[in-house]
Structure 1
């Protein structure tokens, strides 16, 4: 080491902290109260935007447009953006003008902190809460809690779109299969191949085959013959998707009252996992097990889709099958239980 070089401390002198400048709110009580009202006003504006979100949801028509866009989506997006934006601006203003204004230096350590340092950290956090003024500024605190609490309504109100749970087609439920309890499947509806929409005959399937299928109504329309479109089509696809599997008839263990739900060893089950609703079609033909790729729930299709592994809470719903006059597979009825995640069965 060269003895002529200065010591390292001389090479990197401590520059120190810049001179502290007091904020107007630190020295002027009027400015402090004015800033407090400004922050509370921003939180109140957020609450107003949340109320506008709810109003727009129920008052703006879903088919209305504005500048070529869906009027409801635009109004909901602007209202929700305003609610979150005003909360963010309010918190920033609170931190800049009202919270404690002190320079803090903290050294990083390569190992875990000692008990003394941890205790000091907890003390520093407690000091930070005290310096934030949340305890002595009820106007800011209450307006913030009101705005943040109210903005949660924006996540609850859209649940209204789940609609009624019955299957009767009414003015409030204008398409077949609406609601939670039923699907577009109906008595005599043909089972058709997914994507192409061709009907299926028992002779088309070999032992061990698995076919992804859909209700014929998705391709040829509902009872009135009109093609399903928009929401009706998407709901029909999301709840009506099924898998059709053929195995040896003697390998099937039918559930109680399901003795006639299969056709020559052909069974049909919902494709929607009863855990969180993932679509499934990973089939192991020797065990007749159907595996969900999301969380590995496994169902035995030879035994009423009984859950043999994984987090699913109940078997896959089974669609009762029959054959029509032309020899094609058809549904005897809709599913006799809800399709998808089993949250509605929990008490």
Structure 2
């Protein structure tokens, strides 16, 4: 009753308001554009000159950032240590940020302070263009160029051209510098894993016994002796493994006969799509998810792809146990790890 009473009161109030204000109009008149409010740079030549210098300075920041990218790439290469990689990435990222933020901020400041800000209404017209329309479009482009003041402000023109011309070098130089690097894609066909190599915890390097792996648990695994390698980071990037123990009754299939041990299976952590680390395990469904592009693999069925852009299963590492009960590899992976590349057919 209270709800009906409230609705009735609202309807009565609305009817009373309509009777007082009169009937609603069938259409509203177009109020048009608000009056143009000039900016400081429109009225004060000094302010316009200051804005010009500010925009030129921002383009200069972009130029310095691009030069910084080149210097960082040449003077601070990534190297083999974690510290050198961190320093190189930090300097490259900071310099590239300055290069991009300089161009972007300069363009926005130029548009807000110096370019024409008069609002223009353009009537709708048929999509088919006539010669007159094309000529009109060219005239509008010319008018826009005149409004931007680029022809009258040579400093801005030079600063913009310099920033835009140099900016691609910040991307091209690091790429060109890698042309002479190691392009041997066959290196992905082999990893540190070999017959008898123990599976150890990442990052401690502690060997793992089969009896310590409970059903449903997942281990991030690296090969024993990894830190003793000269280029151990590169070797780790290829050899990292995710190991899970399933109930043997839930194991539908594996990629090779006898490649698992009492429900314990081990697969490469490198996604077969673009190489992201696959490490999100869902115990109930036995699904392994790649966080980058959501490729999903069923580890109970040989890491078969069940969703996402990956085109092939994760390579399986054949495992068994040694005389002391430690989990060991039977061999290396039987297929290249990682994403597909131009020499791989699948």
TM range (shorter): 0.5 to 0.7
Shift of 1:319: 0.9
1:164 alignment counterpart: 182
Verify the 8 A CA contact 1:268 1:318 in the aligned structure 2.
yes
Verify the 8 A CA contact 1:215 1:240 in the aligned structure 2.
yes
Which of 282, 289, 292 is the matching residue for 1:292? Answer: 289
* 1:167–1:263 CA distance, 2 compared to 1 (3 A): farther
Residues 234-253 of structure 1 correspond to what in structure 2 (within 5 A)?
236=236, 240-248=240-248, 253=253
Residues 16-35 of structure 1 correspond to what in structure 2 (within 5 A)?
17=36, 21=42, 24=45
TM-score (norm 1): 0.57
Shift of 1:315: 0.4
* 1:152–1:325 CA distance, 2 compared to 1 (3 A): farther
Greater helix fraction, Structure 1 or Structure 2: 2
Unpaired segments ≥5 residues, structure 1 = 2-13, 64-69, 107-112, 169-178
Aligned partner of residue 96 in structure 2, secondary structure? helix
TM-score (norm 2): 0.57
2:221 alignment counterpart: 214
* 1:161–1:199 CA distance, 2 compared to 1 (3 A): farther
2:308 alignment counterpart: 310
1:57 alignment counterpart: 73
Which of 91, 103, 112 is the matching residue for 1:87? Answer: 103
1:221-252 deviation line (CA, Å, top 9, x unaligned):
5346x9xxxx9559737851312334438955
Query: How far apart are the structure 1 equivalents of 2:258 and 2:123?
Result: 70
Query: How far apart are the structure 2 equivalents of 1:182 and 1:135?
Result: 61
Residues 1-347 of structure 1 correspond to what in structure 2 (within 5 A)?
17=36, 21=42, 24=45, 43=59, 46-47=62-63, 49-60=65-76, 72=88, 75-76=91-92, 79-88=95-104, 90-91=106-107, 94-95=110-111, 99=115, 101-104=116-119, 127=140, 130-133=143-146, 144=160, 147-148=163-164, 150-155=166-171, 164=182, 183-193=191-201, 198-205=206-213, 208-217=215-224, 221-223=226-228, 232=232, 236=236, 240-248=240-248, 253-255=253-255, 258-275=256-273, 277=276, 278-284=278-284, 289-292=286-289, 294=291, 297-342=295-340
1:170-198 deviation line (CA, Å, top 9, x unaligned):
xxxxxxxxx76655544432113456654
Verify the 8 A CA contact 1:212 1:244 in the aligned structure 2.
yes
Aligned partner of residue 281 in structure 1, secondary structure? strand
Aligned partner of residue 283 in structure 2, secondary structure? strand
* 1:76–1:23 CA distance, 2 compared to 1 (3 A): same
Shift of 1:329: 1.1
Shift of 1:270: 2.1
Aligned partner of residue 103 in structure 1, secondary structure? coil
* 1:252–1:149 CA distance, 2 compared to 1 (3 A): farther
Shift of 1:341: 4.4
* 1:193–1:232 CA distance, 2 compared to 1 (3 A): closer
Unpaired segments ≥5 residues, structure 2 = 1-19, 21-32, 80-85, 129-135
Query: How far apart are the structure 2 equivalents of 1:15 and 1:205?
Result: 72
Verify the 8 A CA contact 1:200 1:329 in the aligned structure 2.
yes
CA RMSD for the aligned pairs?
Answer: 5.4
